[in-house]
Amino acid sequence: MSADRDFVEDQDEDTGTPSPLSGDASDFTDGAGGPLKRDLVAGLEKGLSVIAAFDQERPRLTISEVAARTRLTRAAARRYLLTLTHLGFVSQDRKMFSLTAKVLRLGQSYLHSARLPRIVEPELQKLAHTVKEVSIAGVLDGDDVICIAATTAGRVVSTVPQPGMRVPAYCSGVGRVLMAAMPEDELDAFIARQELAPLTSHSITEPGRLRQEIARTRAQGYACVDQELEIGLRVLAVPLKNYRGEVVSAMNVLVHASRMSLDQMVEQCLPSLLHTQAHLRMLL
């Protein structure tokens, strides 16, 4: 869609002239529930992909690196980076670009406005203070789990959990629980695209073994992960369901391996996790 057409359509909406979205649902869906391509703003999609190109491993990128990571031309990547720099979301140091703190506004908007973290966070705090351990709640974002709420209850683990933190789903408790809720065909595709890197000597790196663990998680209703993400970190996780029984998130308890075995976690922490799970189901 050209810039001129975008401008005309915006003018039509402002002046009351019927816009492309003024018909019924069938006028702007593709028949499969998705929007028509003409109703999508490609520039917004590409701009967000430029922001997402930066991560912990690559906090500073050149124009060419951004182009390669976003599959944009170098000229297009340059324009998006300059626009984001002008808006204050990106800073430039010679040939290198990096995100600024202003990007945090995007995440804060979700945490402050979305219903799920607002409901889960106070219940998570109660859980953490009951078991006297660290607890987080998260959702799937691509192949990762992203934390939406966290509390430490005074306990310290090597990795301090905080909203926005991302970890690979395949070796995390929250991830295993959310994978167990997937339909089989979706789970097969999910596992097939994983690299299953050995983050520790305990990490499961064989697809067959991972399927066994997910099957066990599905059967027992909770996941136990022993130092697969990080040495010394043990995790017990359960799904969070809404009133219709749909899994919308998951929460866990994290302990240092020196404080508690997996069997002790199941005995001491699982009842509190299940109590919080049941209470949240009435709220979600």
For 180-207, how does the pLDDT look when each residue is reduced to its tens digit (9 = 90+)? 999 999 999 999 999 999 999 999 999 9
Check whether residue 17 and residue 153 sit in a common domain. no
Tally of domains within the chain: 2
256 lies in a domain? yes
Q: String of b and e for 246-271 (b: at least 16 CB within 10 Å)? A: ebbbbbbbbbeeeebebeebbebbbe
CATH of the domain at 224: 3.30.450.40
d(CA 2, CA 64): 25
What is the structure's pLDDT at 32? 55
109 lies in a domain? no
- Contact (CB, 8 A) for 145 and 172: yes
212 lies in a domain? yes
- Contact (CB, 8 A) for 128 and 152: yes
- Contact (CB, 8 A) for 224 and 262: yes
Q: At which of 102, 124, 150 does a domain end?
A: 102
What is the structure's pLDDT at 1? 41
Query: Is residue 169 over pLDDT 80?
Result: yes
Q: Which of 6-10, 54-58, 79-83 has the highest mean pLDDT?
A: 79-83
Check whether residue 127 and residue 32 sit in a common domain. no
Check whether residue 132 and residue 71 sit in a common domain. no
**What is the token pair recorded at 246?**
């749909």
Check whether residue 261 and residue 144 sit in a common domain. yes
**Separation of first and last alpha carbons in the chain:** 40
**What is the token pair recorded at 61?**
């990128």
107 lies in a domain? no
What is the structure's pLDDT at 154? 65
Query: Is residue 247 over pLDDT 50?
Result: yes
Check whether residue 185 and residue 257 sit in a common domain. yes
Q: What is the mean pLDDT of the chain?
A: 85
CA angle 69, 71, 73 (to 5 degrees): 115
Check whether residue 162 and residue 97 sit in a common domain. no
In the chain, % of residues over pLDDT 70: 85
Band of residue 36 on the pLDDT scale cut at 50, 70, 90: confident
Backbone φ and ψ of 218, nearest 5°: -65, -40
Band of residue 158 on the pLDDT scale cut at 50, 70, 90: low
Check whether residue 129 and residue 63 sit in a common domain. no
d(CA 18, CA 39): 14
Check whether residue 56 and residue 97 sit in a common domain. yes
264 lies in a domain? yes
Check whether residue 176 and residue 89 sit in a common domain. no
- Contact (CB, 8 A) for 172 and 137: no
Check whether residue 9 and residue 48 sit in a common domain. yes
Check whether residue 136 and residue 216 sit in a common domain. yes
The alpha-helical segments, DSSP class H, found in the chain are: 3-15, 42-52, 63-70, 74-87, 104-113, 115-131, 173-180, 184-192, 207-220, 262-268, 270-283
182 lies in a domain? yes
Check whether residue 250 and residue 149 sit in a common domain. yes
Rg over CA atoms, the chain: 22
Tell me which residue range forms the domain holding 90: 3-102
Query: Is residue 156 over pLDDT 70?
Result: no
Query: Is residue 6 over pLDDT 50?
Result: no
For range 107-119, the mean pLDDT: 78
Q: What is the pTM of this model?
A: 0.72
Q: At which of 58, 80, 102 does a domain end?
A: 102
d(CA 77, CA 83): 10
CATH of the domain at 74: 1.10.10.10
